[in-house]
Amino acid sequence: MAQLEELLEDSETTEGRKRISNALKIAEREWENIRISLGLCGYIGEFSKDDFMIGIVSEDIITRQPKISPTKSVSGYSPSYYPMYFISNLIAMDEKLKDKGYKTVEALYTYVELATKAAYRLGLEGNLGMGFGCGYGHVRTGWIAEKGLEEERLKFAEIFFENRSKDYGWDFHWTSVKKDFKNVFDQFIVWKNNPEIYMKDSSSKSTIKPFIV
């Protein structure tokens, strides 16, 4: 919690506000990447900072009261249940991007946060939205988030990597990537429209081949 306290205190300074502003620019950039990659699934709209855990801004003050997060995590590496973890993950991800690409824990939780919101905007709510976000974060980074249902994440990766090698270094603009995400999205829509199929698939691991990262 000490790290969180430091981040919250820093947010009340001029330098802290600059840090938040820079993080939001990173978030907008990555949101655009997600928008491009999910282009065949539908339109997710523009990035809005009000959708994410960056603190509640009132008269230029970042307060300590977090908004409700679908992830509800309290881990420093996890999505931003507390306001400043999202900011911390965004900045750390960006700092490591040149050397490690998106294969970092910080990138994982940044993408879980962003892709879950994108899924909500595409009509996938609750467990389905979280499962989609965790699946996206996994196929982008190679890391696994212990959020949502394991079966959803496994099915996401199974479909995404069905016609490609398990290489996490794909490009958001690739036509094949867009098609793969559309195939994944279609499966989630099947689950949404057919609760009995969803219950069957999510309760039985025998029909889904697990894989090791």
* Model pTM score: 0.79
More confident residue, 74 or 97: 97
Say how far apart CA 101 and CA 48 lie, in whole Å: 24
Residue 41's nearest CA partner among 185, 176, 156 is 185
Let me know if residue 203 belongs to a domain: yes
Task: Give 52's pLDDT tier (boundaries 50, 70, 90).
Answer: confident
Number of structural domains, the chain? 1
C-beta of residue 116 within 8 angstroms of C-beta of residue 70: yes
Let me know if residue 213 belongs to a domain: no
Let me know if residue 212 belongs to a domain: no
C-beta of residue 132 within 8 angstroms of C-beta of residue 116: yes
Let me know if residue 76 belongs to a domain: yes
**Residue 7: domain span:** 2-207
List beta partners, residue 93. Answer: none
Say how far apart CA 175 and CA 92 lie, in whole Å: 29
Q: What is the pLDDT of residues 67-93, one digit of tens each?
A: 333 443 433 334 434 445 788 889 999
Distance from first CA to last CA of the chain, Å, rounded? 30
